[in-house]
Amino acid sequence: DAGVIQSPRHEVTEMGQEVTLRCKPISGHDYLFWYRQTMMRGLELLIYFNNNVPIDDSGMPEDRFSAKMPNASFSTLKIQPSEPRDSAVYFCASSTATGELFFGEGSRLTVL
Amino acid sequence: GIQVEQSPPDLILQEGANSTLRCNFSDSVNNLQWFHQNPWGQLINLFYIPSGTKQNGRLSATTVATERYSLLYISSSQTTDSGVYFCAVTPGQNFVFGPGTRLSVLP
């Protein structure tokens, strides 16, 4: 079975540009999570969805960040405009209602 | 919100040694998982263990939910065990991660 698929794996962009990260959860999983990992803050939850509906977005750092899940097999995390402090590894994860979490390989973002 | 602590923060072992990593959490949880983040950054599921004991090869884990802690045992460590070990807990659905234990296994 395919795991959680994220793209791109690496993104280098300049400050002010729009960044879109993509995620395909495991088929049949009805929860989808976006995490950000930095050296300073560790792994922090940004937002999670249940059945494509955002449930908790309290971790989204500011209005420059937005996330959507238009259907059960696709989600995006967008940063507009990007800033150097957004540089991090962004992980997508999915789970069933029983809760075991599976991660994608992450998208490493560098904003110059 | 729930607080998660892990100890020790860093651990250096000689290949073949055994180790115990600890995770303490501040409130009741429904779920607990252990992950290994390898040097390439991948987060790999080790155990989904809200309570009880599980074993998988050289690794085993025990969660005592009533006392709010979990232990991860690594026996006969290998260099491929190096990386960061995270404990993650949730009282509901969204997992909160501990700061991790960084393990270095030397040949």
Q: Which residues contact A58 (CB under 8 A, 6 or more apart)?
A: none
Residue A103, token pair as written in the block:
């991660």
DSSP classification of residue B50: S
Q: How far apart are CA A112 and CA B83, in angstroms?
A: 28
pLDDT, tens digit only, all 107 positions of chain B: 899 999 999 999 999 999 999 999 999 988 999 999 999 999 999 999 999 999 999 999 999 999 999 999 999 999 999 999 999 998 877 889 999 999 999 99
Residue A2 vs residue B4, higher pLDDT:
B4
Give per-residue pLDDT as tens, A59-106: 998 899 999 999 999 999 999 999 999 999 999 999 988 778 999 999
Nearest to B86 among A43, A48, A100 (CB): A43
Handedness of CA A27, A44, A56, A106 (dihedral sign): negative
- Per-residue pLDDT at A1 exceeds 70: no
* Chains A–B, number of C-beta pairs less than 8 Å apart: 47
Give per-residue pLDDT as tens, A3-22: 999 999 999 999 999 999 99
User: Residue B19 pairs with which residues in a beta bridge?
Assistant: B74
**Using the beta-carbon criterion (under 8 Å), do B93 and A89 form an inter-chain contact?**
no
**Using the beta-carbon criterion (under 8 Å), do A42 and B94 form an inter-chain contact?**
no
Q: What is the pLDDT of residue B1?
A: 85
Q: How far apart are CA A26 and CA A4, in angstroms?
A: 5
State whether residue A5 sits within 8 Å of chain B by CB: no
Q: Report the amino acid identity of residue A12.
A: V
Min distance A81 CA to chain B CA atoms (Å): 26
Residue B81, token pair as written in the block:
């065990």
